[in-house]
Structure formats: C-alpha cells, structure tokens
C-alpha cells in the first residue's frame, strides 16, 4: 500500500478494489481486517470487490455482499447479460452496497455499430468469439428499436440508461474509443429515463432470450446448486 501511495503521489486512495476475488478470498477475514485498518488509518476511503474475469461468480458475489466485504462491487451487467447481476441487487440494497458496472455495452454489441460484416483486429478479445456471437447479437438488438424510436437517444445511450435504472448502480464504465463516443456516452444521463413499461419489456425479452435460440450462457465461478455454494451462503445468513 505504501508503494502504491508513493507511485500515485497521494496520501490516500479513494476506492480500492480486490480484483477477480474467489470464494476463498471472500471468506478470508484477515484480508478485510487489513483493509479496515487502512481505512481507519486514512489511507483508504473505501474498498470493495471486482468480480471476474468474464461473467458469473454469483456465489462469490452474494457471499461478499452478505459478509459486507466493502461498500462497492464491480460487475458485468447489461441489458443482454442481466444475470447474475439481478441476483445481487436486492441483497446489495439491504446491505448498503453499490455497484460499478463494466461492459455496459455487451462488448460493443449495444453501441449499435456492428453489422454482419464486422471484423475485429488481431489482439482484440472479440476476435476469439464464435461467429454466432455476432449473428445472434445482431438478432437480439433488432428487437430493441423501441428504445430509440423518435430519436430521443441512441442505442448506446439507452444501454447506459438501462444500467443506471437500477438504484444500486452508482456508475458505469463504458469503453471510450474516440471523442464522438465520449460525447455520446457522457450525454446519456441527461436523456429521458427508461419508463417502467420499457424496463418491463426488456425483462420479458431477456427471459425469452430476445427470441433467439442458442445454448444457455455459461457462467464462471462456483455452481450455485453445489454443496460448496450452499455452505458458503448459509454461513453468510447464519
């Protein structure tokens, strides 16, 4: 920590997040005792966890929220990938935990610029996705025209408004490629909020996988149906 403060040229860090925590880290009381000491010393203002890599980690997230492992959690969440985020929000509100959302545009799909001819440069992680990811994603976003009808906002802005409609989401972390994208996304909070009808329709579409037939998404982390998960979550609620 001292070296981090020295490199940053500051005497405190506003938010310190444990990256890619696993269940063993969530359950390790000594880690959080150390972080609490750093808060008491004024070197940290707050701390939290960041789930990853990739999407999933439901058990790990619920355990971290239930054990009050910090005031904030960073997760992947967007209108095409609403789980496991939806499982976190109720417990988070009960435990006064907020969220930073990354990948709010579903790896660019919700920016509205992809076509069937889109390709990705060498080194771009999206280059390794199967062709079906692009084809199916375009079919999904074709069902979202009602969000942009009348030109009130772009699809990219609507995607951000969707995330911010959840009260426990405090901020989103979109990828910024150029000045025009920065201006577009920065203007999103000033756009009209999504209505209850629109949010309800998005829930229905998600439950139906937007009318696209494909294998269920595979989530990372401990299987929520496993004995390990049951024991971990029982310990939280005991």
Structure confidence at residue 238 (pLDDT): 56
DSSP state of 172: E
At 86-124, the pLDDT tens digits run 999 999 999 999 999 999 999 999 999 999 999 999 999
| Amino acid 73: pLDDT | 97
Q: The domain 2-214 is classified under which CATH number: 3.30.1330.60, 3.40.605.10, 3.20.20.100, 3.40.640.10?
A: 3.20.20.100
The model's pTM: 0.94
Q: Tell me the average pLDDT of the chain.
A: 95
What is the model's pLDDT at position 237? Answer: 63
Using one digit for the tens of pLDDT, what is the confidence trace for 70-81? 999 999 999 999
The string of pLDDT tens digits covering residues 151-167 is 999 999 999 999 999 99
Instruction: Give the pLDDT score at 232.
Output: 84
Percentage of the chain surpassing pLDDT 70?
A: 99
Taking the C-alpha atoms of residue 55 and residue 63, their distance in angstroms, rounded to an integer, is 16
Name residue 49's beta-bridge partners: 18, 73
Contact 210, 143 (CB under 8 A): yes
Q: In angstroms, how far is the first alpha carbon of the chain from the final one?
A: 33
Q: Supply the pLDDT for residue 189.
A: 95
pLDDT digits 0-9 by tens, 4-57:
999 999 999 999 999 999 999 999 999 999 999 999 999 999 999 999 999 999
**Could you tell me where the DSSP H helices lie in the chain?**
2-8, 23-27, 29-40, 58-66, 85-94, 131-141, 155-164, 179-186, 196-207, 227-237
Over residues 205-222, mean pLDDT:
95
pLDDT at 68: 85
- Report, as an integer, the average pLDDT of 192-209: 98
User: Given the DSSP bridges, would you call strands 169-173 and 72-76 parallel, antiparallel or unpaired?
Assistant: unpaired
């Amino acid at each position: 920590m001292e070296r981090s403060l020295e490199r940053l040229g500051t005497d405190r860090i506003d938010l310190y997040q444990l990256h890619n925590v696993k269940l063993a880290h969530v359950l390790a009381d000594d880690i959080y005792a150390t972080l609490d000491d750093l808060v008491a010393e004024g070197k940290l203002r707050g701390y939290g966890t960041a789930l990853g890599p990739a999407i999933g980690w439901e058990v790990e997230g619920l355990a971290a929220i239930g054990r009050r492992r910090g005031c904030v959690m960073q997760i992947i969440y967007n209108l095409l990938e609403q789980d496991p985020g939806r499982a976190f929000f109720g417990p988070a509100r009960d435990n006064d935990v907020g969220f930073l959302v990354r990948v709010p545009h579903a790896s660019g799909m919700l920016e509205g610029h992809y076509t069937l001819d889109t390709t990705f440069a060498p080194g771009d992680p999206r280059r390794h996705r199967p062709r079906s990811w692009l084809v199916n994603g375009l079919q999904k976003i074709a069902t979202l025209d009602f969000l942009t009808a009348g030109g009130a906002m772009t699809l990219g802005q609507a995607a951000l408004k969707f995330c911010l409609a959840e009260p426990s989401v405090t901020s989103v972390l979109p990828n910024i490629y150029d000045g025009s994208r920065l201006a577009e996304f920065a203007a999103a909070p000033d756009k009209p909020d999504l209505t209850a009808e629109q949010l309800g329709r998005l829930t229905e579409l998600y439950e139906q996988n937007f009318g696209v037939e494909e294998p269920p998404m595979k989530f990372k982390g401990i299987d929520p149906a496993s004995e390990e998960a049951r024991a971990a979550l029982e310990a939280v609620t005991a």
